[in-house]
Chain A
Amino acid sequence: DSGVTQTPKHLITATGQRVTLRCSPRSGDLSVYWYQQSLDQGLQFLIQYYNGEERAKGNILERFSAQQFPDLHSELNLSSLELGDSALYFCASSARQATNYGYTFGSGTRLTVV
């Protein structure tokens, strides 16, 4: 158990729908990162929050949004889902804002859009 909790583990939904993925960071970590891993792709950075504030945006679609709550858990909202959004979505957390020391990943949410 890495200490980073992601729910749900699996999600199957139809095109056009909206889903919310949830992440609880490791205790004491203030930064939360969201990554997407599509088939045969590396981990693509989506967005980072630090202590409730958005700090960095990567290749995140406008249909996607995220937030970090006062208790530091984070949610990734995916709307108007398309078949191509099917992927593994990982959350990671770190104590610091920058990443030179790496971070701890959750086990991911596998999203299947049908």
Chain B
Amino acid sequence: DQQVKQNSPSLSVQEGRISILNCDYTNSMFDYFLWYKKYPAEGPTFLISISSIKDKNEDGRFTVFLNKSAKHLSLHIVPSQPGDSAVYFCAASLTGANNLFFGTGTRLTVIP
């Protein structure tokens, strides 16, 4: 039972344009959401997070938006750069939980 879903396996974007990666979840009790980025032959690295009490969190070129009523979050990358090409995982957690729930990932390719 996949509680966190990333329905787009891949996304291609031109350099300088906006990349929008989407994530849906089913468990309304999730109260913290994270995005991880993964390059080949490396482990996932933390990118940005958002608490469920917020609807937006920004860090440089990266912004995460949370729509709790729709159980949907998205990661915006503006402007996209070739170095952003990677697999992006969405993850969610419950307060006090011992593990994160991950989506299946979206492979972003930024075309120079």
Could you tell me which A residues sit within 8 Å of B by CB distance?
Answer: 2, 4, 6, 33, 35, 40-45, 48, 50, 55-56, 58, 90, 92, 97-108
Interface residues on B, range: 20 to 34
A41 touches B104 (CB 8 A): yes
A108 touches B43 (CB 8 A): yes
B46 touches A98 (CB 8 A): no
* B8–chain A nearest beta-carbon distance, Å: 13
B104 touches A42 (CB 8 A): yes
B43 touches A106 (CB 8 A): yes
From A42, A90, A99, give the contact of B99 (CB < 8 A).
A99
B102 touches A43 (CB 8 A): yes
A102 touches B43 (CB 8 A): no
From A2, A4, A99, give the contact of B98 (CB < 8 A).
A99
Residue B20, interface by CB 8 Å: no
Residue B4, interface by CB 8 Å: yes
From A6, A42, A103, give the contact of B2 (CB < 8 A).
A42
A98 touches B45 (CB 8 A): no
Q: Across the two chains, which residue of chain A brings its CB closest to B105?
A: A42
When each residue 94-105 of chain B gets 1 if its CB lies under 8 Å from chain A and 0 otherwise, what string results? 011111111111
* B64–chain A nearest beta-carbon distance, Å: 13
15 A-B residue pairs with CB within 8 Å: A33-B99, A40-B104, A42-B4, A43-B44, A44-B102, A45-B100, A48-B99, A90-B43, A90-B44, A98-B95, A98-B97, A99-B97, A100-B93, A104-B46, A105-B45
